[in-house]
Amino acid sequence: MGIRVTQHTMYNNMVGHMQSNLAGYMESVQQGASQKKINRPSDDPAGTYRVLTTRQDMVNTAQYQENVDTAKGWMELADNVLSTQLPVAIQGLKTLAEQASTGTYTAEQRRIMADQARQYFGQILNLANTEFEGKSIFSGHKYTQNAFQEGLAVTPPAAEDWQEAVKNGQIDVAGASATTIIVQFTNTAEQDLAAGATYRWTDDGGATWNEAQVLAGENGALKLEPEGKGVTMTIKPDADGNLPKLAAYDPEIAGPASTNGSLLYLRPTAVYKGDDNDQPFDINVMGAGSLTAGDIQASGEIGQNTLIRFDDAVEPGKDFYWSYSVDGGTSWITAKGTAPAAGEKLRLPIPGGYLDAETPADGSGIPKDAQILVHPARADLGYEIMKDTYLPVNSVGKDVFGGYYEGKPALNGENNLFEVVGKFIGYLEGNNQSGCQETLVALTTAEKQILAEATRIGGMENRISMAADVLSFQQLDQQERLSYVEDIDLTELLTKLTRQQLTYQTVLQSSSMIMQMSLAKYL
């Protein structure tokens, strides 16, 4: 059966073909102008998704590269301080110690050396307070303040009880002094330290002496306050209530001597003001009945705040459910446990370690919905250098330079650089040749502690360099992937444009010829 084709039908078909070809042609023109295959989501929905995800990956990579650059600056500065500048100061102190250790130098010459040693001490203090972009690199997470500030500490007698008193933080010195103050107890026989005991003190190396008496303090403590110096030394009893013993003093021995009476040097040190990664962890208890923070301990390598919740009451010998959260309670992980007998230890495994709680001896257990927060000390400032990979860029200064922290030496023995230098200044100003000889060996040990930290930082610098290389490769790969999906192939586009132009011209020409045809020409 034949189909009648009217002029109207022919016109509509021709206009439709022209519009279709023209739309494709204009789309190719737009691609040529933008140099992109995808100009709107409808052009390629799947390709649009790949473009968006790749662009987000590129944004993340750029941020990681910025973090790597910042971390690299921290590490390079710390490396320069520990590997280059600090060894120069330590070598200068070694030279002074070698000279002061010989018997050819006088008290006045050692006092001159003490002035140089104090300058080196100040230089080391400045290096320990080095900042990067306004942040202290050796103060842990408290990077908005200096890591160290100058203070006073005590070089005790060689007696073990005095040494332990210093290590345990029983001796505190408040105030400031431009010179070392030497305290010498003048009792003629060995005796217990008590209020009213006599001592003498000097701030000029023993050239002149002043007499004083030990004063009574609070809670069994004793105080020494050299008149006019603005310095107070407090000596606190140990856990058993005991104070250090005083050795016998012989007035026939001229000048200060470490073997004559109990001799103390009040000399400079550096007090650490940053924070640490030390245990024990802080424990907060909420709604736990008679259970208190003193009954709870956390152990292990717990690196984040952990919240523990008891979903059931903990009753002796019974099963219970409990949960923990590491995101402040947003999400919880639930586990089942069995309560121990009353008064025994309950152990719960948490990420990185354990929580141990002494359950109430009266059998009252732990109420339902009680919560315990384990808060680890956080001294690390981490930069995310790759996805979920954090690099700590700062250091805990007390673990590097030593000094004093929370009332006692931060590092024991000769690893404590600030204490070694502080003692050396005291020995120089007190004309103590044997003490200067000890310093020479101690400086070498302290330097090893510094170099160990420099080595650790060097390893982290290598890690940063490797991360930078990986990120550069990722960036190039992401750019290539984005270009493959999004960018137009110019050669292919020009060929396509030529073909579409020819097609459109053909449609126009053929349409014009057909529209000119009429039956009237053949009648």
**pLDDT of 381-408, one tens digit each?**
788 888 888 888 888 999 999 999 999 9
Pair 293, 283: CB distance under 8 Å: yes
Residue with tokens 């190719």, as numbered in its chain: 28
How would residue 514 be classed by pLDDT, with cut points 50, 70 and 90?
low
Q: What is the pLDDT of residue 216?
A: 93
Give me the half-sphere count of Cα atoms (radius 13 Å) on the Cβ side of residue 186.
19
- The strand pair at 296-300 and 306-310 is best described as unpaired
Give per-residue pLDDT as tens, 277-291: 887 788 889 888 888
What values do phi and psi take at 182, rounded to 5? Answer: -100, 130
**Structural domain spans, the chain:** 105-276+394-451, 282-376
**What is the predicted pLDDT for the residue at 6?**
60
When pLDDT is cut at 50, 70 and 90, the band that residue 140 belongs to is: confident
Least reliable range by pLDDT among 123-132, 292-301, 453-462 = 292-301
467 by Cβ neighbours in 10 Å (0-12 / 13-18 / 19+) ranks as buried
What digits encode the pLDDT tens for the residues 6-58?
A: 666 666 666 666 666 666 666 666 666 666 666 666 656 776 777 678 878 88
- Taking the C-alpha atoms of residue 263 and residue 285, their distance in angstroms, rounded to an integer, is 47
Is a pLDDT exceeding 60 seen at residue 108? yes
pLDDT recorded at residue 522:
55
The reported pLDDT for the residue numbered 497 is 62
Percent share of the chain, pLDDT over 90:
52
pLDDT surpasses 60 at 523: no
Question: 220, 277, 272, 222: which is closest to 246 by C-alpha?
Answer: 222
Q: Which two tokens stand for residue 261?
A: 């009476």
Q: What share of the chain is helix, strand, coil (3-state, %, to 5)?
A: 45, 20, 35
Average pLDDT, the chain: 86
Report phi then psi at 518, rounded to 5: -155, 145
CA distance 33 to 31: 5
Token reading at 180: 């070392």
Of 54-58, 347-351, 434-438, 457-461, minimum mean pLDDT range:
54-58
Q: What is the DSSP letter of 506?
A: H
pTM of this structure: 0.77
Query: What token pair was written down for 517?
Result: 């045809």
- Mean pLDDT confidence for 373-386: 82
How far is C-alpha 471 from the geometric centre of its chain's CA atoms?
A: 24
| Three-state secondary-structure class, residue 8 | helix
